[in-house]
Every structure is written in C-alpha cells, then in structure tokens.
C-alpha cells in the first residue's frame, strides 16, 4: 500500500493526500478521518459529528491549498 505524500491534522481530524501519475498528468486524492479512542487503542472513523464539521472544513481547505501549491510547483518545474 502506498503512503500519502502529505498529512494534515487538526485535533482529532486528519486528512491524507495521495498522489498518482496518470496519462492526464498528476492527480491527487484526499481521505479524511476522525481519530477516536476505543479502550486503549486509537482508531479511525469516516463519520463526523456536528462539532467535527468546522474542523473537517478547515482540514479540507488546507489540503486544497497544499495540492494547489504542489501542482503549481510541479507545473513550473516542468515548464523551465
């Protein structure tokens, strides 16, 4: 399994960004999880409560910015 190229975490909310080269060029995908403790083990969920949603939005905004910056940097380095 491939590793994400970047992770963003705010509190218990985490976004992972994966990168894949395709015929159309570089593509990114994002997965978002909420961390929670079940006994003595940390686990992840893709379900979010009302109070999680503003943090999910902030994490996704940061993921969007990171992907945009990485894509712009990649395009600039291939055009020179």
* CA–CA gap between residue 80 and residue 34 (Å, rounded): 41
CA distances from 71 to 11, 24, 33, 40, 57 (A): 27, 13, 24, 39, 21
pLDDT single digits (tens) 1-18: 689 999 999 999 999 999
pTM comes to 0.85
Answer yes or no: is 1 within a domain.
no
Q: What tokens were used for 61? A: 């905004």
Q: How many domains does the chain have?
A: 1
Q: Which helix (H) or strand (E) holds 23?
A: none
Answer yes or no: is 27 within a domain.
yes
* CA–CA gap between residue 32 and residue 49 (Å, rounded): 13
* CA–CA gap between residue 65 and residue 2 (Å, rounded): 22
What is the domain range of residue 53? Answer: 6-79
Answer yes or no: is 29 within a domain.
yes
Answer yes or no: is 47 within a domain.
yes
pLDDT single digits (tens) 29-67: 999 999 999 999 999 999 999 999 999 999 999 999 999
Q: Are 12 and 36 in contact (CB under 8 A)?
A: yes
């Amino acid at each position: 399994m491939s590793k994400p190229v970047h992770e963003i975490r705010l509190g218990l909310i985490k976004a992972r960004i994966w990168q894949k080269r395709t015929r159309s060029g570089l593509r990114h995908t994002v997965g978002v999880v909420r961390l929670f403790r079940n006994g003595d083990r940390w686990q992840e969920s893709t379900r979010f409560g009302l109070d999680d949603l503003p943090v999910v939005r902030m994490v996704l905004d940061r993921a969007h910015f990171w992907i945009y910056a990485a894509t712009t940097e990649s395009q600039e380095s291939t055009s020179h």
